[in-house]
Structure 1
């Protein structure tokens, strides 16, 4: 609404505004203060001459008389421009009337109040624009046809499509003309439709594409666009680049709904906090967006990372403070918050996360980073990452047993922190937050952090088209971060590398297909096929203990017209000649093929060594073809006890550490001075610190594969170490079973060997008896090397098969003794004519 104003010279204009109503006291209410007009009105307040008013997103309730008012510095110097401007807001309707009594033609009229500026009209027939630009508009009716009209330059404000004959014509009606949604959120764009003829296909598309293309097939929307029932398009993880006009189209055997008919305009915005001066010593904060959010949201405010309960409006008034930062979010979308801003200066309490959300592959490594600031006169006393909190109490992630040996903290400067999580599991999917405390303040725990979603890869196969082509999609449960490059495999061979997660071709039913992401080729999807060649492993990677036995389970398929000739495993392959692992030196008697020549291809490896760490792959040869699966990485690890102490505590935290994450979530066993003290799924154990104590850990089911005992302080503590976990000896021969021990600063009072196999003959089953007093070993047992401090050897002669048992060494001191539950050396006596072996 254009206007200009003048006033006498010598006056100074102090206030200008538009209004439509007065308050209870009869004073005009400025539109900018009216809740119905907020964020929709702008007008010039340059106090010169221009007083033009602009109102956006007009509503029928805006119909009113608008008046401009200005106030000067002189008494009585107030003026209102009467009679004002009367605004009538109308929508468009298509009115259908017969052309004449004797004619089948119809007259269509785009009815409104008399629009200003003699507009040009646009007509749509079945969603497609027609050339006629007048109103009224004459048409010859067809039962299938619908018509709609709009005014040029306001095409989005079109009328609903109407049938000119019957009510079953072609129609599409959008639920919303426009939607404003938050970046990172999800949106549903819906319409209703009907068709006179049977429908063959339906899809959604962007109007800015030169050719209408099904949005669910667009690589930019891969994994984010889903067309549900009832013609609703859902787009997840919204990006600013998703801002566009979206249209629905259907096709019949005869025609289809046109693609020029206006659809729903989506605007994607982020949140920003704008700071403006208010009363003295105060600021007004506004949670700002580039469009007006749909559905009148409730706002949430944060101060220094802590949620405030007293304000739920778009604006919030605060006192000036150099320390405080503020951020805002929208209720039900608390994870999508505005960056925190300082009220005064630039060094307030603040944490900024590099990513609001991250999608990463199961088994991979992820870095979650942030930057933080604080006033220069504050000193940081504590920093940590966490993902669990109750009533404001958080737990440092590095002390969480579920993340033992998988979490590291890194930093490059004094104002950044990176949380690194390795060997990702699906259970790691959650929100991660950073916390820091200074000597004067702390960053709150309710401020949104970074949400991590862990996904695996799957190949989705769409039905064949008329041209015989299928589409393979490398799908994930979330959109992978950093726009990865995808690798496609056909029958285990790499065939394609592309930034698209889609692959369309005439695929053979006899072939298998899998996908991976470049840089993590080892984390590929299971192979899919119809009647094809495939190898499927139960585990994509395996972590197992040194000395244990592992089964690498797998199954395989092949076309029914083939017959298996050879099947074997391998670790090294030049691409030409594959070498059967059973013929490789060092694997004799060490591996066993448990599979068959039908579908099972399980490999067993016994007495694992660190050198067995490698990629293992299965290969089979048929009467006509050869096929191999991708390698399964096997990592062999031993156990080590890591000690974490505190300068201010007498407690110590012990971690049973491995170089990889053991498969199948094991239960851990803890030993203190040879006594079993704990059995738990946690790999950590806490205890009171004492100088003579030593600790060792093992995994349930593999107790003999325990870690070396370690001292909690220094190198002088109780311990017993066996050179061999197992000994195999011939019946009738002699064997030496040795141990080394340390008693710290104590004095040894007694020591002996025993076997728990003989516990039934002990006077007290909890007090092991000396093997030399056992009648079953009379004259056959002696201790050698006893004069050498710190070493003891048990010698058994004339070995019998019933001597097969576990043998342990214990000692007693003036204060206590070495526990009898600590694993020893297992002796196996055999009648076979083989040499004595140790392991």
Structure 2
């Protein structure tokens, strides 16, 4: 549609026509379309041509404007507007083509746009009015929220105005191109495979409508049960059954053992499964469009050994030398192999374990282990308490090897017996005391001798080997005695030193009073002059001196008479020795 438009006051136009002898038909702007509908973010083009009187007029400026509000007595040039300067491109010339292009159009670009040209003659300017109105539209997909499989479905690509160019619509499902068709997408019999996110666009444009999800509803498929275990299920395992069924909306899942309802939900878990849980299981999937049952699956629960116990034949009291039989029983599937253990040591196999002539070494805890391909289990232990009379009786002495008078000495008695024996102490054949320990505080030489203990229980008694207590002490009761030689005449008198000590004293020293040095050694000493003499007895534990004895010697002219007076223990001993002159 062609439109010749003018915009100047009538008198002003008449004046121009008179002065320059031109007609109104020589002026104008022609737009190809008065209304353009463009897609958001696209590039739109306004085609137009203009004319003015020639010759005599020359174009000095051409531009596009909008809103027709003058600034400084002139319409504003859009190319100077920051919102348009980078997007507006003038494609025309300064003769007759006034085509313009606007890129990346948005809703804010919706206006009426006008072309303006100015010539070199005063008053020779023109604006194309009314101009071209630009409408900007986006694309919105219109679709039902949900449909049932098999329904007919229509999806419409909506816009607020009809695009100026004849558009070719493109449809997408889950970002994959479907086909170049019109602004409607018709699905005659929709299937679940056609569910997804749909959007539409226009060929050669980047703009695509917001996606709309097409929700296709359908009844459950036949459910399938899967088991998270191997073919063999062992008692005590945790078994999980999973039920899967394709449906929309998701189906409610129910579980059945035989015809009995046992649970709900996609997962059915049996923790610590037992043989009571054996049987056929199935699941049912149900939604508003229908229901389906799965094929049944069978749980055949096997189990490792259980209820393991040991029995002991014979009397309650087991004596050394008896014959004892242990029996092991077990509930298992398949039957278990039986092994026997004493503590942690393997001692045999088979359901029966026999011990002939049992001894104390066989005492202890016994258990049997039952094992099959699914596991193993041990019985509670049973204790064989083999009883016997005392044996291996021994006595030990505390302290050092050497026992000194005044020491504290303890004797300990140990006995191997079952039940534990009562212990009794003897010195020689004399009973002393009872108990495992016999203590002597401040031992003396009177305690020396042979000691033994006796162990006795209900099955008999036995003595230990004797141990000897040898109590040692330093010399004591040291004394000096005069030795009579049996001769009438002698040149000297012999003195002898005696003492009580353990061990016996071996070293003796002789001293004359008031002299620091010894005058002799040995157990005997010969005195040949007057004075007071004493001896010292020594052993490894100490020394002790005797009381002093007095020896007196008197001399005469013809002969020497030696009178020896010795005092020892309150007894005066006088010896007269007559020595003739030579």
Structure having greater relative contact order (Cα 8 Å, sep ≥ 6) = 2
Between Structure 1 and Structure 2, the one with more strand by share is 2
